[in-house]
Chain A
Amino acid sequence: MRDYPGTRQTFIEMDTIPENGKGIPVDHNKIVAEKVSAFFGKVQAIRDIQINIPENSIVAIIGPSGCGKSTFLRSINRMHELIHGTRVTGKILLDGEDVYSLDPVLIRKKIGMVFQKPNPFPTMSIFDNVAAGLRMGGTHDRKNIAEVVERSLQQAALWSEVKDSLSKSGVGLSGGQQQRLCIARALAVNPEVLLMDEPASALDPIATAKIEELLFELKKRYTIVIVTHNMQQAARVSDYTAFFYMGELIEYDITKKIFTAPSIKQTEDYVTGRFG
């Protein structure tokens, strides 16, 4: 499934884009965006985004507010189209297959998402929250579900804290725990990619550190795209960083390079805090 001939082909094009850093590996791409634009009615939120996301890496998307980070993230798992009057043009390839030619339900199973504000299902217990995706996907085998729930909670580093209160409501947890619950819920459906839109912005430093630690573990099995406003966080957790500005991808390179020696002036100004 993973080695699509199309994948490599797209690269040749990618390489010709000047702002695309040479430090980005070009084999084993999980996601490739080709000239992706997204609109809210007539308003264009992102323009011709070209980017490749290597497998098992963490890619951070940074940029000032309103530059289209969320919009881009939401076009990857086809959440953008849920808003009335929106549309996406261009191609987004997952393992070489255009996600816009597949069933969105299937795509969203493969590409999980964690939102800015923790959003557990309030009427469900902790256990049921994690099991929700599985059950909606048609899995009803109790033993199987229990195993996946435990494994997902462990992966989300929440198991030890909740293993004795699985039947309690998910909204009784702290904000940081709720966010990890949402991560566990996303992991339970066994996605290949995890999109995270400012997953730690509503959390305190300790809860944030926990989530960051978690990302290192998760990247062994998943490909992660994370939007963040926190420069230190991007620098700490990501392998590659994309800088968005006014709906365009300005620069994309190895994180270290972006933060120490960016090739474009705007990027430098932004990461050094001179604007944005």
Chain B
Amino acid sequence: MESVLITRNTFKASKGRLQNPGDFLFKNLTRFFAALILVLVVLMAYEMMRTSALSWNKFGFNFFIRSVWDPVQDEYGALPFIYGTLVSSLLSLIIAVPLSLGIAVFLTEVAPRWLERPVSFFVEMLAGIPSIVYGVWGFFVMVPWLRSTVEPFISKYLGFIPLFRGAPYGVGMLAAGIILSIMILPIIASISRDVLKAVPRSQTEASLALGSTRWQATRIALAYSRSGIFGAVVLGLGRAIGETMAVTMVIGNRPTISASLFEPGYTMASVLANEFTEATSEMYISALVEIALTLFIITIIINSFARLLIWSVTSNERAQKA
């Protein structure tokens, strides 16, 4: 609060004086760029709404609950893609969240210093690998392995559960979930690590002074930072939902809704990447753009929500330290 007041005041004070032309230019130029981004986002949304109007007018809200996708008859529904996006993203969270938290706790509470740095570096490096590389690895290494080893093994022992029924294709929802989990692991792990590191010493000490074990003190720290960690998870979810290339290469690209994770599926991002070039009719294009708009809105909501959470946690800390 205070710092805001101070900058406002100094700004006002400087207004009275003659301004350095360089400062003036700089300030307004940066202001212009900031505004430009906002304008771009609004324009993008507007443009997508305009293009998708045709599909919206024809199918209305039914577009989101229909599972037909038939370019020949010009009949479109987005449900299989929405379903695919949701299921593959949730699956990736189920795999990535425990792993990431494990890594974050290891890095902050357990690892000796000489190990902490290289592991952190390695985890962050994973975030920098282009997604097509994950896709290629997924397609040529992971998928064959899933098909020959993992899926037959799971269906042998857990085949009675509908989730694990069906032929082991290799490509499919499970493959997409795994590849996504590897891709969102770095972001969740590294933000959770930062959030855990920001837990005040006094909390850990309060716990240990009560005669708690290190693990119990860690649980206190996890509870203290739970909203920050939740923010990290939501940010990971945002990334999983928008991820395109790697998923497209391993999910099978078939617009069906199936209970089995072994079956192929399709996601919103993948259908856009795959079918944009072939979309010939105006209705086809319009339907694809409506999917794009849906994805756009979902990711914006998820990302702002996550940022807000993380931001509120870190600003609390700043307030406490002051």
Please give the residue numbers on chain A whose beta carbons come within 8 Å of chain B beta carbons, in ascending order: 77, 79, 82, 105-109, 112-113, 115, 117, 119-124, 132-133, 136-137, 182, 185-186, 189
Q: Give complex CA distance A79, B213 in Å.
A: 13
Flag if B202 contacts A117 (CB, 8 Å).
yes
Chain B residues lying within 8 Å of A105, measured Cβ to Cβ, are: 211-213
Flag if A189 contacts B211 (CB, 8 Å).
yes
Is B224's beta carbon under 8 Å from chain A? yes
Chain B residues lying within 8 Å of A189, measured Cβ to Cβ, are: 210-211
Chain B residues lying within 8 Å of A182, measured Cβ to Cβ, are: 206
* Nearest neighbor of B226 in chain A, beta-carbon distance: A123
B186 to chain A, nearest CB (A): 27
Our pick among A77, A121, A137 for the contact of B220 (Cβ within 8 Å) is A121
Flag if A186 contacts B209 (CB, 8 Å).
yes
* Nearest neighbor of B210 in chain A, beta-carbon distance: A133
Q: Give complex CA distance A115, B211 in Å.
A: 15
Q: Give complex CA distance A162, B212 in Å.
A: 25
Is B208's beta carbon under 8 Å from chain A? yes
Q: Tally B residues with Cβ within 8 Å of A.
A: 17
Chain B residues lying within 8 Å of A117, measured Cβ to Cβ, are: 202
A102 to chain B, nearest CB (A): 12
Is B223's beta carbon under 8 Å from chain A? yes
Flag if B211 contacts A79 (CB, 8 Å).
no
A29 to chain B, nearest CB (A): 22
Q: Give complex CA distance A169, B92 in Å.
A: 34
* Nearest neighbor of A105 in chain B, beta-carbon distance: B211
Our pick among A82, A122, A132 for the contact of B210 (Cβ within 8 Å) is A132
B239 to chain A, nearest CB (A): 27
Chain B residues lying within 8 Å of A119, measured Cβ to Cβ, are: 200, 202-203, 205-206
Flag if B205 contacts A115 (CB, 8 Å).
yes
Chain B residues lying within 8 Å of A136, measured Cβ to Cβ, are: 207, 210-213, 216
With A79-B205, A115-B202, A136-B216 known as contacts, the answer to whether A121 contacts B210 (CB < 8 A) is: no
Q: Give complex CA distance A79, B220 in Å.
A: 17
Q: Give complex CA distance A107, B208 in Å.
A: 11
Q: Give complex CA distance A117, B202 in Å.
A: 8
Our pick among A121, A123, A137 for the contact of B206 (Cβ within 8 Å) is A121
Chain A residues lying within 8 Å of B213, measured Cβ to Cβ, are: 105, 136
Q: Give complex CA distance A113, B226 in Å.
A: 26
Q: Give complex CA distance A123, B212 in Å.
A: 17
Flag if B202 contacts A121 (CB, 8 Å).
no
Q: Give complex CA distance A111, B150 in Å.
A: 53
Q: Give complex CA distance A186, B212 in Å.
A: 12
Find the residue from B202, B206, B212 having the highest chain A CB count within 10 A.
B206
Flag if A133 contacts B202 (CB, 8 Å).
no
B321 to chain A, nearest CB (A): 12
Q: Give complex CA distance A77, B206 in Å.
A: 12
Known: A115-B209, A136-B216, A189-B210. 12 other contacts (CB 8 A): A79-B209, A107-B211, A108-B210, A109-B210, A112-B210, A119-B200, A119-B205, A121-B207, A121-B223, A122-B224, A133-B210, A136-B212
Flag if A133 contacts B205 (CB, 8 Å).
no
Q: Give complex CA distance A91, B87 in Å.
A: 60
Chain B residues lying within 8 Å of A113, measured Cβ to Cβ, are: 209
* Nearest neighbor of A188 in chain B, beta-carbon distance: B210
Flag if A133 contacts B211 (CB, 8 Å).
yes
Flag if B224 contacts A77 (CB, 8 Å).
no
With A121-B203, A122-B224, A123-B224 known as contacts, the answer to whether A109 contacts B208 (CB < 8 A) is: no
Find the residue from A119, A124, A182 having the highest chain B CB count within 10 A.
A119
Chain A residues lying within 8 Å of B220, measured Cβ to Cβ, are: 121, 132
Flag if A112 contacts B224 (CB, 8 Å).
no
Chain A residues lying within 8 Å of B226, measured Cβ to Cβ, are: 123
* Nearest neighbor of A195 in chain B, beta-carbon distance: B209
Q: Give complex CA distance A182, B206 in Å.
A: 9
Flag if B208 contacts A79 (CB, 8 Å).
yes
* Nearest neighbor of A135 in chain B, beta-carbon distance: B216
Our pick among A108, A115, A121, A185 for the contact of B224 (Cβ within 8 Å) is A121
Flag if A82 contacts B211 (CB, 8 Å).
no
| Interchain residue pairs with CB less than 8 A apart (25) | A77-B209, A105-B212, A105-B213, A106-B211, A108-B209, A109-B210, A109-B211, A113-B209, A115-B206, A119-B200, A119-B206, A121-B203, A121-B207, A121-B223, A121-B224, A122-B224, A123-B226, A132-B207, A132-B210, A133-B210, A133-B211, A133-B212, A136-B213, A136-B216, A189-B211
Chain A residues lying within 8 Å of B224, measured Cβ to Cβ, are: 121-123
B66 to chain A, nearest CB (A): 44
Our pick among A82, A106, A186 for the contact of B208 (Cβ within 8 Å) is A82
Residues 200-242 of B, flagged 1 when their CB comes within 8 A of A and 0 if not, give 1011011111111100100010011010000000000000000
